[in-house]
Amino acid sequence: MSMNLMSGSTEIPVRVADIVQVSERVKRFRFEPVAGGSMPVFSAGAHVVVSMNIGSRRARNPYSLMGSVTDLSAYEISVLKTVDSRGGSVFLHDSVKIGDQLTVSTPVNLFPVEQRGRKFILIAGGIGITPMIAMAEQLTAQKLPFELHYAYRNDQAGAYADTLKARYGHLVHLYIDSRDERIPLDALLKNQPLGTHLYVCGPGGMINWVLESGRKAGWPEENLHSERFLAPPSGKPFSVVLERSKKTVTVGEHESILEAIEASGVEPPYLCRGGACGQCLTGVVSCDGTLEHNDHYLAPEERDSNQKIMICVSRIKGSNLVLDL
C-alpha cells in the first residue's frame, strides 16, 4: 500500500482559489494549499475527501481530482449540485466563496490507470466525466492510445464536452440522451486489440450495463474498471454501541454511522466514504434488526454473514447496533 493510503485521513488546509460555473448544475473549484508550496503528488483516477462545516455538522464528500497530474500548485474538482443530497454539494455551490478555507484529504486512487495496458476506453456518464479528464490528460502525456465516450442528459448538462472535443478531437465521442444518442457499446467491445482496458464512471445503472456487457463480450474482469461514490442514504435513527470504546451514539436520519461515530470523538479508519474502498469495514457484534448494506464492496456471502458492515454508507433497520469498535 502506498503512503497515500496509509495517511488517507490526513487533512490538508486549502484555500478556494477559483470557482467556475461549468454547466447548469456543475461548478469547478480550485484549491490551493494554505501553507503554500505544492499539493501531494497524485495519479489520474485519484480522489480527495473534502471536509466542510455545515452549521454544527461536519460533512465529508469524496470528489475525483480532474486537474493535470503535473500541476501540483492546486487541486481541481467539479461538483454536481444535487438538491436531494445531504447538503455537501449544495453547500459547495451556494455557500463557498473564493478565499474560503476548507480541508481536503491526501489523495487516494481506487481507480488507477493500468500501466501495462495497450489501449484505454474511457466511458463517462454525466458528472462521471471528472476522473476521465485527468486520465485523458495523463494518457496523452504518456502517449498511450485512448478514446473517450461521454454521455449526458441534454445540451446544458454536458460539462466540459466542448473543451474535451476541442482538445482531443476525434478521440472524444459525445452522446446526448435528449437526442436519443446512445454509446454503441457492443460494437465498441467487439473491436479492441488485446490489452485494452475499459474505465467507466457514471450513474449506477450505466456502470452495471457497461460492466455486464463487457463480461458478456468475453472481456476478463481484470480489464473492466469502474468507480462510483455513493452518498449515504437516509433512514430512521438508531443507536450504535461501540463495544471497545464503551460509547453509545445515535445515528440521525440524514447521518451515516461513520459521521455519528466521528461526532462522538472516535475516529474509525476511512478512505473513500462512498462504499467503494473497504477501509471502514467494521465487525458487527450484534444487531436487533437487519443490516442494510448500501456499499458495493462486500461480497454477497459477506453481506449475508451479518458479521461485517461498511459504516460509511450502510445502516440498519432496527433500533440498536453493537459494533466492534
Partner 1 sequence: MLVSGIKSRPVYTGLILDPHAEHHLIAVEGEGALAVLDMLSPAPRDAAEKATILYTKAGSAPVDHEGALAKLHPYRLQPLPTIQTLLIRLQGFLTTAKMGTRLYIAGTEGFIGQAMQVALNNAIDFHSVRTEHRGSLARRIQCVHCKGFTENVTMSHVPCAHCGLNLLVRDHYSRRLGAFQGVCIDAEVPGELPPAEEIFP
**Residue (37 or 218) nearer to partner 1, CB:** 218
**Residue (217 or 322) nearer to partner 1, CB:** 217
Selection from 25, 11, 19, 35 nearest residue 96 by Cα: 19
**Residue 138: CB minimum distance to partner 1, A:** 18
**Residue 190: CB minimum distance to partner 1, A:** 7
Three-state secondary structure readout of 251-296: ECCCCCHHHHHHHCCCCCCCCCCCCCCCCCEEEEEEECCEEECCCC
Taking the CA atoms of 253, 256, 261 and 265 in sequence, report the sign of the dihedral they define.
negative
Selection from 186, 202, 192 nearest residue 223 by Cα: 192
**Residue (197 or 273) nearer to partner 1, CB:** 197
**Residue 301: CB minimum distance to partner 1, A:** 19
**Residue 111: CB minimum distance to partner 1, A:** 16
**Residue (19 or 144) nearer to partner 1, CB:** 144
Residue 53's SS3 state is strand
**Residue (121 or 321) nearer to partner 1, CB:** 121
Residue 58's SS3 state is strand
**Residue 193: CB minimum distance to partner 1, A:** 6
Angle at 197 between CA 196 and CA 202, to 5 degrees: 140
How far apart CA 170 and CA 224 sit, in angstroms, is 23
Site residues (vs partner 1, CB under 8 A): 114, 116-118, 189-196, 215-223
